[in-house]
Structure 1
Amino acid sequence: MARFHPLRVAAVDRLTDDSVTLTFDVPPPLREEFRFTPGQHLALRRFAEGTEIRRTYSICSPAPHPDAPGPETLKVGVRLVEDGAFSTYAFKELGVGDELEVMTPAGRFTLDPAPGRYAAIVGGSGITPVLSIVTTLLEREPRAQFCLIRSDRTTASTMFLEEVADLKDRWPGRFQLVTVLSREEQQAGLDSGRLDEQRLARLLPALLPVAEVEGWFLCGPFGLVQGAERTLRDLGVARRHIHEEIFHVDGAVATTPVGASQAPAPAHSTVTVTLDGRSGTWPVQSGETLLETVLRNRADAPYACKGGVCGTCRAFRVSGEVRMDHNYALEPEETEAGYVLACQSRPTTDTVELDFDR
């Protein structure tokens, strides 16, 4: 069960003009609880003027070896968002020695190191979880190779520029890097411009044997990730080899009905929830999502973004049917198995039962 703990800020380091890394000290009693798989994220929480603000940021540091103690520190990358309530605070006010409430690691955009060929297509801050994935993989598995294709606006706006360059120096035979800048000409390499489907369709087969890639990791804005997925499918890549994490949705709409029901919400419905070993049943008020119903009765219900992006509120649908307004976090095999995002789920039957513990 994910839970919050106060962690001390050990460092705030400027990456670019609009991004920083935050490093947290993890005290010895919490190191096992904060053990993470490369690619996972942390939810950070603060209270401002009586309002709770949560945001999710991916861990960018390599994961500890399974046989080693848990992490002594955790590092996340934060990009400044215009009028962002949390990113503005992190960028302009947060300092060394301050404390933030940090949720234990979550997320399934992950890779357990194994031999083989892997690749990633990322845009902007989508590099953050992939940096942890590729570094951990190359450090632990000498028979692994990784190709990173990244898209950024300019060199100056590129997060973790030095860290990625270091990967090339450390593993020149196993790490391949391709950089595309949309608003700046490069002296060498690809021409500037957007990394759209047509461009990817030409680029990918020329870079690597697409069919031999064990796992594709797509992370960044909604449009880039969806376009990359379509390109890979057109190139014959099976869906099970494609892993996605959305960082920015930009108003895109993706309605995903779950439970094969398009029916409107019933006049009266209840939800039964199992959470951290305890169960309860409560009425769903008009217009509420199931997460909102649960939070009225259980403040410890897990969530971070409430936008269908992070997947923190994933729950198993034991019975009943729901409709999800949006789903940017769950893989098709997860929804087929019965998992839903509580923050996006609305009941379409009189009773629904969810299990957060599965």
Structure 2
Amino acid sequence: MSGFHSLAVARVEPLTGQACAVHFAVPAELRDEYAFAPGQHLTLRLPAGDQEERRTYSICSTPADLAERGALRIGVKRIPNGLFSGWLTGELQPGAAIEVMTPAGRFGTPVAPANERHVCCLAAGSGITPVLSIVTSILRAEPASRVTLMYGNRTSNDVMFLEELADLKNSYPSRFTLLHVLSAEPQLSDLLTGRIDEDKITILLDGLCKDADEWYLCGPLGLVSTARAALVAGGVPAAAVHSELFYVGDEPPELAAPAPPEHAATERSQVTVTLSGRTSTIPVGYTGPSILDAVLASRPDAPYACKGGVCGTCRAMVTAGSVSMTRNYALEPEELAAGLVLACQSHPVTPEVSLRFQ
């Protein structure tokens, strides 16, 4: 089960006028706990009065950086009125200590020196952070693999990790193809001007990435949805397309959920949860707060981060009964079929439910 530790900030590195990279120093005794796969994320928490705030940020360093130097890095882009992002990009100083959960997330790829593959990535804005870890890890550890990255931003001043990406291109010129797409800054090619849309993805699929083995998508909902649809329509197997969202929007669509039982207004389901080897039974309403919110009232150690159905930190396996989910942006179809749900979006449907946090 994931847990929090206090990590010291080693460095705050400006990236653009609105973004920075936060470097953590991981002591030797915690490096095994913070071992991660490229593409995973960290959850940070900050006390806020009687409550606490949590935010999830993707790791943009490589596993080798952690193993060799104890270095762990996240990328942060400031959002308007953002409590966490404003603090991290504007006030945080080296030497500060932050409560950081051990790595989580299923977006990403195993890296092995024997691999020989072509990986294509699409990213926009701060969606580059997990993709950078994936790209760098593959290029450094898999000498027979190639990577193509199409990265969208408004202008060149908005490009996070601009110099680092250029250095990767210079270091691996025959194995790394880098395409910067700018929506508010004209370029010489139509392919590189405007937003990453269906036409651009089709051109990429028919040209540079026609032999791609895997696709990794990270960015806002519009980009990820458009890209996934275009790739599948172009013949890419759905199982070869992996995605993670960085921003869903104010009104994300909801899944079709069964109508609550007739007695929902007066009765509650008995929900039994297994967490960290301990089992608790909690009454949960059929409507109103989610299962996660009900569990947190008595089990504050329950894992969560975004509470928006995006990060997947609160994944749980339903072992008895059934639940409905309001929305889901983290679980793949095969995970849903296996019984996994997001506790932050789940509501009981049956009088008794049992689930086990992953």
TM-score bin (small chain): over 0.9
Residue aligned with 1:293, SS = helix
Indicate which of 82, 85, 100 corresponds to 1:84. 82
Per-residue deviation at 1:63? 1.4
Task: Say if 1:318 and 1:353, in contact at 8 Å, map to a contact too.
Answer: yes
Query: What pairs with 1:138-287 in structure 2 (closer than 5 Å)?
Result: 138-187=139-188, 190-209=191-210, 212-256=211-255, 262-264=258-260, 266=264, 267-285=267-285, 286-287=287-288
- Give distance in 2, aligned partners of 1:236 and 1:187: 30
Structure 1 contact 32–70 (Cα < 8 Å) conserved: no
TM-score normalised by the chain length of structure 1: 0.94
Matches for 1:335-346 after TM superposition, within 5 Å: 335-346=336-347
Q: Sequence identity, in percent?
A: 48
Correspondence 1:1-358 to 2 at 5 A = 1-64=1-64, 69=67, 72-113=70-111, 114-187=115-188, 190-209=191-210, 212-256=211-255, 262-264=258-260, 266=264, 267-285=267-285, 286-357=287-358
Does the 8 Å contact 1:35/1:70 carry over to 2? no
How much has 1:45 moved relative to structure 2? 0.7
Please tell me whether the aligned partners of residues 45 and 53 of structure 2 are also in contact (alpha carbons under 8 angstroms).
yes
Matched letter for residue 90 of structure 2: K
Gaps of 5+ in 1: none
Question: How many Å separate the matches in 1 of 2:169 and 2:163?
Answer: 10
Q: What secondary structure, in the 3-state scheme, does the structure 2 residue paired with 1:213 have?
A: coil
Structure 1: distance between partners of 2:69 and 2:2: 17
2:95 aligns to what SS in structure 1?
Answer: coil
Q: Judge conservation of contact 1:196–1:224 (CA < 8 Å) in 2.
A: yes
How many Å separate the matches in 2 of 1:59 and 1:125?
Answer: 11
Partners of 1:342 and 1:173 in 2: CA distance: 45
314-323 or 285-294, larger mean C-alpha shift: 285-294
Aligned-partner Cα distance in 2 for 1:71–1:214: 32
Partners of 1:11 and 1:238 lie apart in 2 by 41
SS of residue in 1 equivalent to 2:23:
strand
The one-letter amino acid of 1:263's match is: A
1:15 to partner: Cα distance: 0.2
Secondary structure (helix, strand or coil) at the match of 1:343 reads helix
CA offsets, 1:211-265, max 9 Å, x none? x3221101000000000000001001111101010000113433335xxx61315
Q: Distance in 1 between matches of 2:230 and 2:239?
A: 15
The AA in structure 1 aligned to 2:13 is: D
How far, CA to CA, are the matches of 1:181 and 1:144 in structure 2?
Answer: 27
Counterpart AA for 1:204: L
Q: Which blocks of at least 5 consecutive residues in structure 2 are unaligned?
A: none
- Structure 1 runs (4+) deviating above 3 angstroms are 68-71, 187-191
Distance in 1 separating the partners of 2:203 and 2:144 = 27
| Corresponding letter in the other structure for 1:137 | I
Q: Which amino acid aligns with 1:74?
A: L
Tell me the secondary structure at the aligned position of residue 6 of structure 1: strand
RMSD: 1.6
Q: Provide the C-alpha distance between the structure 2 equivalents of 1:229 and 1:252, rounded to a whole number of angstroms.
A: 20
Q: Secondary structure at the match of 2:163?
A: helix
Asked if the contact 1:273–1:356 (Cα under 8 Å) also holds between the matched residues in 2, the reply is yes
Q: After TM superposition, give the deviation of residue 208 of structure 1 in Å.
A: 2.3
Closer, same or farther: CA 71–225 of 1 in aligned 2, 3 Å: farther
* In 1, Cα distance between equivalents of 2:204 and 2:215: 15
How far did 1:189 drift?
A: 7.0
Superposed displacement of residue 35, structure 1: 0.6
8 A contact 1:126–1:219 mirrored in 2 = yes
Distance 1:18 1:276 in 2: 39
Q: Is the Cα–Cα contact under 8 Å of residues 35 and 71 in structure 1 kept in the other structure?
A: no
Report the secondary structure of 1:173's partner residue. Answer: coil
Q: Could you tell me which amino acid in structure 1 is paired with residue 259 of structure 2?
A: A
Deviation, structure 1 residue 291: 0.4
Indicate if the aligned counterparts of 1:35 and 1:64 stay in contact, CA closer than 8 A.
Answer: no
